[in-house]
Amino acid sequence: MTHVGRETHSVEIAGVARELPLFEVAPGVQIAVLNILGDAEVVAAAAVELAKRLESIDHDALVTAETKSVPLVYHLALVSKKPWVVLRKQYKPYMGEAISATTNSITTGAEQTLYLDEKDQALVRGRRVVLVDDVISTGSTLDGMRELIDAVGAEVVAQAAIFTEGDPRDDVVALGHLPVFTASDSPS
């Protein structure tokens, strides 16, 4: 199937069908890109389903990194009635005594820094948190998120995402799994 002249991969997210465009991230390697920004139907359906799957996990707060997963964690916080924190990718003076960690995301293809601002440190310090992302692939973003959570004495009790990608992961509460496509693969 094609989407604006681009091959796609068909997925279902909590009962909502979508065609994800394929983009090359390395020579001969493509990924199906999930961009939930502006897709209120997918965000709401995914958040409700993730909340159900996280019900049995005792947690006090939700943490994500900007930007694409922000609407997901916001809606998840509304459904689960939990506070939420966004780790920022750029330091601003109003963030006070922020702490930082460096990560390398597959979608950005470059090193980036995550910041936990002074105000949000108080929201998670000593608490049980769930790390939330839209797609978890290599785990690099999770590692950076975990480093910041550990630095304030909080405990990561779960990792959640709409999809895992690449190698199968059993350490993530996810609604599905996305393959990584190589030149010999054909998307379904």
CA-CA distance, 132 to 63, in Å (whole number)? 6
Question: Are 5 and 22 within 8 A, CB to CB?
Answer: no
Which tens digit of pLDDT belongs to each residue from 36-87?
Answer: 999 999 999 999 999 999 999 999 999 999 989 999 999 999 999 999 999 9
- Which amino acid does the sequence have at 53? R
Q: What is the pLDDT, as a whole number, of residue 134?
A: 96
Q: What is the pLDDT, as a whole number, of residue 183?
A: 78
**Pair of tokens at residue 104:** 């390398």
CA-CA distance, 34 to 43, in Å (whole number)? 11
Tell the CATH topology of 39-175: Rossmann fold (3.40.50)
Q: Is the pLDDT of residue 182 over 60?
A: yes
Stated pTM of the model:
0.91
Q: Is 29 left (phi over 0), alpha (psi -120 to 50) or beta?
A: beta
- Angle made by CA atoms 81, 134, 112, in degrees to the nearest 5: 110
Q: What is the pLDDT, as a whole number, of residue 128?
A: 98
Which residue stretches of 33-134 are H helix? 40-54, 70-80, 118-124
Q: Is the pLDDT of residue 186 over 80?
A: no
Q: What is the pLDDT, as a whole number, of residue 80?
A: 97
Which tens digit of pLDDT belongs to each residue from 103-157?
Answer: 876 556 678 899 999 999 999 999 999 999 999 988 888 999 999 999 999 999 9
Which tens digit of pLDDT belongs to each residue from 6-15?
Answer: 999 999 999 9
Q: What is the pLDDT, as a whole number, of residue 140?
A: 87
Q: Is the pLDDT of residue 5 over 90?
A: no
Residue 18 phi, psi (nearest 5): -145, 155
Q: Is the pLDDT of residue 2 over 50?
A: no
Q: What is the pLDDT, as a whole number, of residue 1?
A: 45
**Pair of tokens at residue 123:** 């929201």
Exposure string over 131-140, b if 16+ CB within 10 A, otherwise e? bbbbbbbebb
**What are the residue boundaries of the structural domains of the chain, listed by start?**
39-175
CA-CA distance, 178 to 164, in Å (whole number)? 6
